Structure formats: structure tokens, C-alpha cells
Chains A and B, each alone.
Chain A
Amino acid sequence: MVSRAAVYEIHSIEQLLKLTALVASVISILILLWYLVRRPPLGRLTKVMLLFGLGVMPLGVALTGNIAGFEYTLKRPFCGSCHVMLPYTEDAADPASNSLAAIHSRNHAFGEESCYNCHADYQLFGAMTTKVNGLKHLFYYITEYANTGPYGEGGKPIHMYKSFSNGMCTRCHSTTAPSWLAREDHAGMLDDIRKGDAKCIDCHSGEKIHPRAFAHGGSGRPPVAAAAQAGQKEAHE
């Protein structure tokens, strides 16, 4: 016997859920096709088979598919699937970039979910409001940005719905950490930062976070020397 290497290896819960959903959907489709082709009388066996094909298996597909889908919506490639996001996601994934988005994306705590980790609402219903905003994004994308060039240069510059709150940064960058307080400007504005009167993004501004974004004066295109230099300067500071 010749042993075969696994064709499909599972590396994450998301992949396992997807595979489960696909297997359940295949079973369901086979049962339904059997019924459509054979058209057996509605006896007990047929009813039980159809209950699996119409109820149990599709419910399994919906459940596992939903979870896998939601998991995937947290990932950067999903954000980048709308072309207007490419200036943001390509830069974040660029190992040579020194923008704040790229630096955070290289951190394992953020990784592939860096967009979501920095931009998701952080409240009881934060995940829900973030997904509702995602639906708004999709609507605007279809109605206003669908045909706007490879990087969305033909569309209006993209802005956030609301100002970036300090809470998004202080979730990780605690205002009590000695290394953070060691910075004079941090220590000097501590109360204002905690109250939200001074914004983190007033100093760590948009062009340092997403240098290729049109809204921050970027060209949208892949690595521009000036953006990289600005990023390096930020990193050294």
C-alpha cells in the first residue's frame, strides 16, 4: 500500500468549520437530489431523510458557515477584497513598510486581524455595530466606489464615520505602563489623554498610520520612498 499525504490540512478552527459546513451541505444536497429524482412516497423513512436534508444538515451549514464567515470578516484579506481598501491593506501587509498599520500588523497580537483589532467598536455591542457599519461600507462601495480605478483613486477620499477614540490605542498602550510614561509628551498630557481631550491621532496622525491612503495625502500605490522615510522617522522617534 502506498501512503498518501493529506490533500487538505486543517490549521485553524475556521478551516474546520468551513469543512464541516461543506460536508453537511454535500450530504444535504445528495438527500434532496435523491428525493427530486426518485420522488418516493412520503413514508416515514422519506420524512426522516428529508428532515435531515431540509432541516438538520442545512442548520449545521448555516451555523458553521456563519461562524466561519464572521471569523473571515475579521481578517485583513477580507477588508482588502474591496479594491478601495488596497492602499490600506497592502501597506499593512508590507514587511518593508514602517507605517503604524504595518508595525501593528507584524505584531502577533494583531496579525491578520489588524484592521478589525484597531477599528472595531469596543463596547458591549461593539462587534454588532462594527458589522452594521460593514454593511454600510458595502452599500457605499457598490453605489459610489465600484468603478474608481485600481486603488479607488477616482472616488472620494475615505473617512471614518467617527473620530478614532483614544480607547482603541489604550486597550494595549496602557497609560500606566512605565515605558509609555517615560515619553515626556505622554507624561505631560496624561490627564488630557485619559479624558480624551488630547487625541492619540493628533500626534500619531493619519499619514503615519496609513501613508498610502488618499485621505492622508498618499498616492494609493505601492511603496513610495517618501512614505517609507516618513515611517522610518516615526519608528526612530
Chain B
Amino acid sequence: MISRLTIRRLVLVSTITTLVSLGLMVMGIVFPKPILLVLAMSLGQLFGTLSLALYLLAIVLDLQGVGEHEDLRPHIGLGGEGGGEPK
């Protein structure tokens, strides 16, 4: 079952994957050795594309109102602040 927690996890994975992707691309720019350039242009961009797709998926799910009822939880003493993740 997709919940708000899933959406937040998608964003978290997307964020970390983007950092890896940026790391690879920056390495290719700062140290332009053949292997690093190939990694930057292949794995770096694959991770970057994947992370953007994950983020867009998270946004689509969020806009569809997935797990919206969970926003009530903080108000009934079951969740954290901001209507975020259930514990």
C-alpha cells in the first residue's frame, strides 16, 4: 500500500541518488581521465535520470492525494509534526 511514508522515502532515495550522480559528474569534470569521464557520462547520468524519475513519481503520487488521510494522525496523537511520517 502506497502511503505518505512511501512518498517521503521516494524523495529520500531520489536525493541520495542525485548526490551520487553529481559526485560522479563532478569527478569527471575535475579529473577528466578516460574512466572517470565514461563513468560520469554513463552511470552519473543514469543515476541522475533515475533520481529525477523517482522524484517526479513522488510528486505525482503526492498530487493524487495518496495517503492524505494520514495527515490526520498528528492531530490524533499518532504522528510527528507537519503531518509527516507515521511512527
Chain A residues within CB distance 8 Å of chain B? 18, 21-22, 25, 28-29, 32, 35-36, 40-42, 47, 50-51, 53-55, 58-59, 61-62, 65-66, 68-69, 72-73, 78, 81-82, 134-135, 137-138, 141-142
Most buried by B among A22, A42, A51: A42
B26 and A62 contacting across the interface, CB-CB below 8 Å: no
Chain B residue nearest in CB terms to A19: B29
Q: Is the CB of B38 within 8 A of A138?
A: yes
Q: Which A residues are CB-close (under 8 A) to B40? A: 65, 69
For the complex, what is the distance from the CA of A138 to the CA of B34, rounded to whole Å? 7
The reply to whether A55 and B62 contact each other, CB–CB distance below 8 Å, is no
B17 to chain A: closest residue by CB: A54
The tally of residues in B whose CB lies under 8 Å from a CB in A reads: 36
- Which B residues fall within an 8 A CB radius of A? 7-8, 11-12, 14-16, 18-19, 21-22, 25-26, 28-30, 32-35, 37-38, 40-41, 44-45, 48, 51-52, 55, 58-59, 62, 82-84
- A47–B82 alpha-carbon span in the complex (Å): 15
Q: How far is the CA of A28 from the CA of B35 in the complex (A)?
A: 24
A32 to B55, CA, bound (A): 12
Question: Could you tell me if A25 and B25 are in contact, using CB atoms closer than 8 angstroms?
Answer: yes
Q: How far is the CA of A173 from the CA of B67 in the complex (A)?
A: 71
Contacts of A137 in B (CB 8 A): 34
Contact assessment for B18 and A65 in the assembled complex, using a CB-CB cutoff below 8 Å = no
Q: Which residue of chain A has its CB nearest to the CB of B47?
A: A58
Known contacts A72-B32, A82-B34, A138-B34; A62/B25 CB under 8 A: yes
Are B29 and A42 in contact (CB-based, < 8 A)?
no
Cβ contact within 8 Å between B52 and A58:
yes
Contact yes or no, A58 B11, CB < 8 A: no
Of the residues A21, A42, A69, A134, contact of B62 by C-beta under 8 Å = A42
- Can you name the residue of chain A whose Cβ is closest to the Cβ of B82? A41
Beyond A35-B11, A42-B7, A66-B45, 6 additional pairs, beta carbon < 8 A: A58-B18, A61-B26, A62-B44, A72-B32, A138-B34, A142-B35
Report A-chain residues with C-beta under 8 Å of the C-beta of B32: 69, 72, 78, 81
- In the complex, are the beta carbons of B29 and A65 less than 8 A apart? yes
Q: Are B22 and A138 in contact (CB under 8 A)?
A: no
